[in-house]
Amino acid sequence: MKIVVLDGFVANNGDLSWDEIAGLGEFTAYDRTMPDMIVERAADADVIFTNKVVIDKDLLDKLPKLKFIGVLATGYNNVDVVAARRRGVTVTNVPADSTHSVVQNIFAHLLNIANETALHNDSVKKGGWTHCQDFSYRLTPIIELSGLTMGIYGLGSIGSEVTKIANAFGMKVIAFTSKVPWQLPGYISPVEKDELFAQSDVLVLSAPLTSENKHIVNADTLRLMKKSAIIINAARGGLMDSAAVAEALNRGDLYAVGADVLESEPPTPSDPLVAAPKCRITPHIAWQSGVAREALIRISADNLRSYLSGKPKNVVN
């Protein structure tokens, strides 16, 4: 059995081992694979692993030996799962390898915005405190989270963990969810979508990207939000209409955004959010802790072992 990893560098740049997967067949791992190289590298593969390399219907038609696609991530919108199912190709993902790491990134963004920690650190390093007449100064408002309303769009494993921490901070927690009240902890209040946008002081996006929720944050939903609101997105960049969000920030109709993901990654030089005021961006690192990446490889290997034993799991198609 031939196993090919198409774009393994971001998950494992040499600091981890592929041995758990490599031991299951004839194994090759590529750091990166450009679109015009996919067929050449995967033509004889029974199994491919992809993180962000797009596997669409046309490509599947060119890979007749392919039986299994392992997505090295939770999100699998880069694979045409319907076409794969029709071809009899099993597609799996890694649903919960980085939950705690992603939640940590969400609150890193929120706390940085609330206290502007990085901004004040830069000011001190440049002599701002040394030359200050007072023992203390602030460059921006300092926001206390206790008492604010945290809204969650996407109450899966990540969203659920976020609510626990928000509750510990003394925040009121609301969520747009299909779950009914008796399925939720007592501190979470389910609300309709418009209420979520209107009531949230902090809106956390933690849903997968689907055709139904693409650009769920758009000009219309932004008009429902408070001008003092903060949006945190560590899920998928496509959940936000970048142009509309940047425009709201530029007009002062939105207080701040913390984003670990963008619609285009890497961003284009003209990406509106990169230049937008009060938009704090990290380069899709929420899942990048060593612990999370080790789990990613371990679960991916287990997905393939389970498939080979006839008991596949974490199947998304």
- Tens digits of per-residue pLDDT, 65-81? 999 999 999 889 899 99
| Residues 184 and 271 both lie in one domain | yes
Query: Among residues 302, 295, 258, 298, which one has the least CA distance to residue 106?
Result: 258
Q: Which domain holds residue 297?
A: 2-97+290-308
Half-sphere exposure of 41 (CA within 13 A, CB side): 21
List of residues 6+ apart from 43 with CB closer than 8 A: 62, 63, 65
So what's the pLDDT on residue 140? Answer: 95
Report the run of H or E that residue 294 belongs to, with start and end: helix 290-308
| Residues 107 and 184 both lie in one domain | yes
- Judge whether 174 lies within some domain: yes
Does residue 290 have a pLDDT over 90? yes
- Judge whether 314 lies within some domain: no
| Residues 141 and 263 both lie in one domain | yes
| Residues 159 and 262 both lie in one domain | yes
| Residues 226 and 112 both lie in one domain | yes
Q: Give the sheet arrangement for strand 149-153, strand by strand.
A: 188-190, 172-176, 149-153, 202-205, 230-233, 256-259, 279-281
- Judge whether 156 lies within some domain: yes
List of residues 6+ apart from 108 with CB closer than 8 A: none
214-238 confidence digits (pLDDT tens): 999 999 999 999 999 999 999 999 9
What is the pLDDT of the chain when averaged over all its residues?
A: 96
| Residues 27 and 160 both lie in one domain | no
Q: What percent of the chain has pLDDT over 90?
A: 94
| Residues 120 and 178 both lie in one domain | yes
Which CATH number goes with the domain that contains 221? 3.40.50.720
- Judge whether 90 lies within some domain: yes
88-121 confidence digits (pLDDT tens): 999 999 987 789 999 999 999 999 999 999 999 9
Q: Cβ-count burial of 67 within 10 angstroms (0-12 exposed, 13-18 middle, 19+ buried)?
A: middle
Kindly state the tokens that stand for 31: 């750091």
| Residues 213 and 133 both lie in one domain | yes
So what's the pLDDT on residue 177? Answer: 92
| Residues 243 and 295 both lie in one domain | no
Does residue 182 have a pLDDT over 90? no
List for the chain the helix, strand, coil content (%; round to 5): 35, 15, 50
The strand pairing partners of 26, in sequence order, are 2
| Residues 57 and 84 both lie in one domain | yes
- Judge whether 87 lies within some domain: yes
Q: What is the pTM of this model?
A: 0.90
- Is the link from the previous residue into 266 a cis peptide, with omega within 30 of 0? yes
| Residues 147 and 30 both lie in one domain | no
Q: What's the total number of domains in the chain? A: 2
Task: Look up residue 152 and give its amino acid.
Answer: I
| Residues 86 and 203 both lie in one domain | no
Catalytically active residues, by annotation: 236, 265, 284
Task: Look up residue 71 and give its amino acid.
Answer: V
